[in-house]
Amino acid sequence: MVYYPQVAYCENYLWEQHINHAIYEQVRALISLQVGNLPSTVDEMLGFYEIKNNQRQLLSLSLSNYTYHKQAAHGMTYIKSLTFDFEKEQICQLRDLFIPGADYVQRLSELVELQIIQRDIPLLENFPGIRPDQDFYIADKSLVIYFQLYEITPYVVGLPMFPISVFDLTDIIDEQSPLSRMAVNN
């Protein structure tokens, strides 16, 4: 079973359709990633979602898909997130949250690496830093950077998630971005 949300009652019906289409396409991509052209039989597939933020004209959600293939050593989970800025009516990419030209990749990489050290997280190899299009979601006053299974850590670690306070990023956050709205204390 695969569950996913639908947005309803937006002021702009076309924007609502765009959001729901983006969610549907992301769910389809996760299913395809799990099944694709693999020769093995799927014994179990579970898809869920979590609303990470739904305030201040921002909707950030994660979609997860767990699949177990027949005779596999273990199941595999993938997570993808979508962040919608209702003020600008756009789907946010990581770069959209920061001042143009700001080296957000370097800053976020340093903050993630610090957490790896502090939390003593085992890595498969040296931490390469984040990608410019790294997976993320926004949860209240945190930007959460995350990695897929086996991307940087062994399977036993699970999906490594790194919450970063918006207050640690205020100097590089674009004032017009939804992340800026999260940095307001009220």
Of the candidates 68, 64, 24, 27, the residue with the CA atom closest to the CA atom of residue 44: 68
Both tokens of 132, joined, read 């410019």
Number of Cβ within 10 Å of residue 62's Cβ equals 23
What is the DSSP code (8-state) at residue 44? E
Residue 41's pLDDT is: 87
Topology of 94-186 in CATH? Actin; Chain A, domain 4 (3.90.640)
Range in 28-42, 81-95, 120-134, 153-167 with the lowest mean pLDDT: 28-42
Domain locations in the chain? 1-91, 94-186
Q: Say yes or no: do domains 1-91 and 94-186 share a fold.
A: no
Flag whether pLDDT at 40 surpasses 90.
Answer: no
For residues 127 and 58, what is the distance between their CA atoms, to the nearest angstrom? 31
Sheet holding 42-55, edge to edge: 42-55, 58-69, 76-85, 90-91
For residues 101 and 27, what is the distance between their CA atoms, to the nearest angstrom? 32
Flag whether pLDDT at 97 surpasses 80.
Answer: yes
Q: Which is higher by pLDDT, 71 or 132? A: 132
Q: Identify the band that residue 165 occupies on the pLDDT scale cut at 50, 70 and 90.
A: very high
Q: Can you list the alpha helix ranges (DSSP code H) found in 43-120?
A: 104-118
Mean residue pLDDT of the chain comes to 94
Flag whether pLDDT at 61 surpasses 90.
Answer: yes
Answer for the pair 164, 108: CB distance below 8 angstroms, yes or no.
yes
Mean pLDDT of 69-84: 92
Farthest-apart Cα atoms in the chain, separation: 53
Mean pLDDT of 77-104: 96
Range in 15-19, 69-73, 118-122 with the lowest mean pLDDT: 69-73
Residue 186's pLDDT is: 63
CATH of domain 1-91: 3.30.565.40
Number of Cβ within 10 Å of residue 92's Cβ equals 22
For residues 145 and 81, what is the distance between their CA atoms, to the nearest angstrom? 10
